[in-house]
């Protein structure tokens, strides 16, 4: 009996993931507010009624996509911020670059829906970003430079880092145009390196401002 239940649970999870993957692919060309339930079920190859075994609505599906896109990043972000000194910035930029390269569709989805027309999804993104800020604040508070800082100022600084990471992700996303020739591939890599340098300088500027905040 337990073996049968395990197979059923695995199949249910597989179908749920198929819905998420199909929706993400469809959202490359449109916003979540315009996505139709029948579009998603047709892409998965199931009847529309099957959708409701996994999600209450397309908004609920969108919230699940937010969790898939951002949820797994929390441990990596905490580890990166826990790194001290200049290495923290280097690792943060590399983390963003790697994540964008590995999951461009997720990054595009978050960038589009952060200010999109589906309120539960906007709120889910906002909650995830607020969680990042709280986690970053906790790590920043451990730095020697945090002496004398109050919680509100540390949280403000953490939000600056989160905002800058989002900007950096968008810049990296713009460098992912498919190259059609060796020349364009070389140009794309040059643009990527430009973004690395720019992002590094911008994060350093925030860090420099931090050093003089209490002056």
Selection from 110, 111, 107, 166 nearest residue 133 by Cα: 166
Q: pLDDT digits over 73-96, tens only?
A: 999 999 999 887 789 999 999 999
**Helices 151-174 and 104-113 meet at what angle, rounded to 10?**
120
Neighbours of 186 (CB within 10 A): 11
User: Mean pLDDT, to the nearest integer, of 132-141?
Assistant: 95
The pTM for the full model equals 0.90
CA pair distance 202, 92, nearest whole angstrom? 12
Overall average pLDDT of the 188-206 stretch: 93
Q: Residue 4: is its pLDDT beyond 70?
A: no
Which among 212, 213, 200, 7 is positioned nearest to 97, based on CA atoms?
200
Average pLDDT of the chain to the nearest whole number: 91
Helix (H, G, I), strand (E, B) or coil at 134: helix
Burial class (CB in 10 A: 0-12, 13-18, 19+), 82: middle
154 burial level (CB within 10 Å; 0-12, 13-18, 19+): buried
- For the stretch 167-187, pLDDT in tens is 999 999 999 865 555 666 678
Return d(Cα 188, Cα 181) in angstroms, integer.
11
Handedness of CA 125, 131, 137, 139 (dihedral sign): negative
pLDDT in tens, 11-48: 889 999 999 999 999 999 899 999 999 999 999 999 99
CA distance 195 to 193: 5
Q: Which burial class, exposed, middle or buried, applies to 107 when counting CB atoms under 10 A from its CB (0-12, 13-18, 19+)?
A: buried
CA distance 5 to 2: 5
């Amino acid at each position: 009996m337990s073996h049968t239940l395990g197979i059923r649970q695995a199949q249910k999870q597989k179908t749920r993931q198929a819905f998420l993957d199909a929706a993400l692919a469809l959202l490359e060309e449109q916003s979540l507010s315009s996505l139709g339930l029948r579009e998603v079920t047709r892409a998965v190859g199931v009847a529309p009624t099957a959708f409701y075994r996994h999600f209450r609505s397309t908004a609920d599906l969108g919230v699940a996509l937010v969790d898939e896109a951002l949820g797994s990043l929390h441990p990596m972000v905490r580890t990166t911020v826990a790194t001290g000194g200049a290495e923290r910035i280097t690792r943060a930029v590399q983390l963003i670059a790697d994540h964008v390269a590995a999951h461009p569709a997720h990054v595009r989805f978050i960038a589009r829906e952060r200010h999109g027309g589906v309120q539960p999804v906007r709120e889910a993104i906002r909650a995830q970003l607020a969680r990042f800020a709280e986690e970053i604040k906790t790590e920043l508070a451990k730095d020697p430079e945090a002496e004398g800082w109050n919680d509100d100022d540390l949280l403000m600084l953490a939000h600056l880092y989160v905002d800058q990471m989002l900007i950096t992700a968008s810049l990296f996303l713009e460098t992912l145009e498919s190259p059609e020739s060796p020349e364009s591939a070389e140009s794309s890599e040059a643009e990527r390196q430009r973004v690395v340098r720019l992002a590094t300088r911008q994060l350093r500027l925030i860090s420099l401002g931090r050093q003089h905040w209490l002056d």
